[in-house]
């Protein structure tokens, strides 16, 4: 992922070759939505740059006298103006959207200490959710999208106290809870706040949180996550194969919350 957005390109002076952007679904999807809004793209906005998107972008570029193989600030600005307005999403929906970009599908890798997961949810967590809902146990491979959203809201968003935070920090706290566990997210938060690091979201943590710039805190989450990951790989070199993707996620989180500060 490039970490670029249409808005960032429109505000800059740099023109980017399409070939360097076409594999970033978080950029391609809004671009496709804009091309649809302008009537150039008939297919759906799926974030995958295929022949239909190429043809649509070339037609758009020809119409506005732009290079068909590059995305310039002017092109990005024109595309931004064409994106249909969406109804506002809640902070939880915003956070879940980011996390599910990185927690896709069913995964079972022997070297991954997280074990078997589906959309980031482990078998143990899913069984706990089913127990609370008084539902029969079944494989995490069978989890539905409705259950995914409900589980994440109950066992992560609410338990990590994200609803007490402003949107940028809530997003960072939620993704950290999913990636490191709820207690791990609170430990990171306490480290950033400079309070006793005990994993308990008590009065001292709440008071310190209200006195801090939550936008700044949200951006610093990525730093402490990256530092932790490097320490983890140093302790357990078998996890080095995952480091690159872990750090890419941390940088993507920083970009995502910065857009909301």
CATH code assigned at 67:
1.10.101
In a domain, 214, yes or no: yes
Rounded to whole angstroms, how far apart are CA atoms 228 and 184? 11
CATH code assigned at 191:
1.20.141.10
Last residue of a domain, one of 82, 103, 127: 82
Tell whether 75 and 132 lie within a shared domain: no
Tell whether 128 and 72 lie within a shared domain: no
List all residues 6 or more positions away from 229 whose beta carbon is below 8 Å from its beta carbon. Answer: 243, 246, 247, 250
For the entire predicted model, the pTM comes to: 0.68
Determine how many CB atoms are found less than 10 A away from the CB of residue 179. Answer: 20
Last residue of a domain, one of 26, 50, 82: 82
Tell whether 243 and 116 lie within a shared domain: yes
User: Would you state the pLDDT for residue 84?
Assistant: 72
| Strands 106-107, 16-17: pairing kind | unpaired
- Quick one: which of 20, 65, 2, 57 has its CA closest to 35? 57
In a domain, 1, yes or no: no
Tell whether 218 and 100 lie within a shared domain: yes
In a domain, 29, yes or no: yes
- Residue 33 belongs to domain spanning: 6-82
DSSP the chain: -----HHHHHHSS--EEGGGTTT-HHHHHHHHHHHHHTTS--S---S---HHHHHHHHHHHHHTT--TTEE-HHHHHHHHHHSPPPPPPPHHHHHHHHHHHHS-SEE--TT-TT-SEETTEEHHHHHHHHHHTT-----GGG--HHHHHHHHIIIIIITTTGGGS-HHHHHHHHHHHHHH-HHHHHHHHHHHHTS--SS---HHHHHHHHHS-HHHHHHHHHHHHHHHHHHHHHH-GGGHHHHHHHHHHHHHHHHHHHTT-
User: Would you state the pLDDT for residue 160?
Assistant: 98
Tell whether 132 and 194 lie within a shared domain: yes
Structural domain total, the chain: 2
Q: What is the mean pLDDT of each successive set of 10 residues along the chain, which is 261 residues long?
A: 82 93 90 93 86 96 96 96 77 94 86 80 96 95 94 98 96 97 98 96 96 91 96 95 96 92 75
User: Would you state the pLDDT for residue 113?
Assistant: 66
User: Would you state the pLDDT for residue 177?
Assistant: 98
Last residue of a domain, one of 59, 82, 105: 82
Tell whether 197 and 143 lie within a shared domain: yes
């Amino acid at each position: 992922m490039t970490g670029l957005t249409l808005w960032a390109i429109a505000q800059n002076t740099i023109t980017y070759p399409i070939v360097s952007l076409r594999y970033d679904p978080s950029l391609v999807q809004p671009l496709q939505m804009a091309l649809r809004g302008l009537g150039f793209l008939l297919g759906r906005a799926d974030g995958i740059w295929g022949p239909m998107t190429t043809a649509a972008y070339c037609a758009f570029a020809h119409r506005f006298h732009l290079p068909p193989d590059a995305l310039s600030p002017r092109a990005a600005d024109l595309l931004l103006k064409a994106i249909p307005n969406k109804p506002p999403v809640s902070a939880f929906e915003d956070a879940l959207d980011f996390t599910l970009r990185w927690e896709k599908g069913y995964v079972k890798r022997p070297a991954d200490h997280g074990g078997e997961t589906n959309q980031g949810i482990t078998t143990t967590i899913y069984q706990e959710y089913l127990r609370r809902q008084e539902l029969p146990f079944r494989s995490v491979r069978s989890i539905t999208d409705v259950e995914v959203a409900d589980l994440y809201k109950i066992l992560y968003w609410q338990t990590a106290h994200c609803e007490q935070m402003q949107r940028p920090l809530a997003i960072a706290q939620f993704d950290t809870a999913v990636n490191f566990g709820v207690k791990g997210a609170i430990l990171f938060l306490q480290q950033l706040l400079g309070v006793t690091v005990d994993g308990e979201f008590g009065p001292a943590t709440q008071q310190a949180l209200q006195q801090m710039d939550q936008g700044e805190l949200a951006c610093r989450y990525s730093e402490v996550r990256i530092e932790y990951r490097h320490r983890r790989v140093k302790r357990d070199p078998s996890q080095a194969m995952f480091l690159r993707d872990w750090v890419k996620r941390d940088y993507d989180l920083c970009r995502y919350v910065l857009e909301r500060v």
